[in-house]
């Protein structure tokens, strides 16, 4: 028996709705048992912009930068309005180092916050999270999504 046009349309709409619902699921990570909803910075433009010009970020939110390779990284806080903890993770998602309480900066020559070793992933959270979580070198970041197809 053939399908009626409305059945095909309904099937297509349900498939599109299911795909949209999956795509809109928030990306989350876990560090030392604490879960954070993260925005992803995957391309150069979003990585350069980062969390600039934001006045607030919910306590359980952050931004995850995913780079194509592992290399020494350095971040700065130019035009960033909220203090942050910047976590650097290697390709195996092990914590390399943390820049705690990186302060907002509005001048031209802002200080840099370099990693203490090569990093592929960088997580920015509200300042104070590193201390609250008791993070230490080697702690593992858990990604609750596939970083190759976020």
Q: Indicate the pTM of the whole model.
A: 0.82
Task: Give the angle subtended at the CA of 81 by the CAs of 79 and 84, to the nearest 5°.
Answer: 105
- 42-97 pLDDT per residue, tens: 999 999 999 999 999 999 999 999 999 999 999 999 999 999 999 999 999 999 99
Task: Give the angle subtended at the CA of 135 by the CAs of 132 and 137, to the nearest 5°.
Answer: 165
**27-143 falls under which CATH superfamily?**
Protein of unknown function DUF192 (2.60.120.1140)
């Amino acid at each position: 028996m053939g399908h009626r046009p409305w059945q095909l349309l309904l099937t297509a709409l349900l498939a599109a709705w299911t795909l949209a619902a999956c795509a809109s699921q928030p990306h989350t990570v876990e560090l030392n048992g604490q879960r954070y909803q993260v925005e992803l910075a995957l391309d150069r433009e979003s990585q350069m912009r980062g969390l600039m010009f934001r006045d607030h970020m919910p306590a359980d939110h952050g931004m995850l930068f995913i780079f194509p390779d592992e290399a020494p990284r350095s971040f700065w806080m130019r035009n960033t309005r909220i203090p942050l903890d910047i976590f650097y993770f290697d390709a195996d998602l092990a914590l390399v180092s943390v820049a705690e309480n990186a302060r907002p900066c509005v001048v031209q020559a802002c200080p840099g916050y370099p990693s203490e070793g090569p990093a592929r992933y960088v997580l920015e959270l509200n300042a104070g999270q590193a201390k609250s979580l008791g993070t230490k070198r080697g702690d593992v970041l858990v990604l609750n999504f596939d970083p190759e197809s976020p």
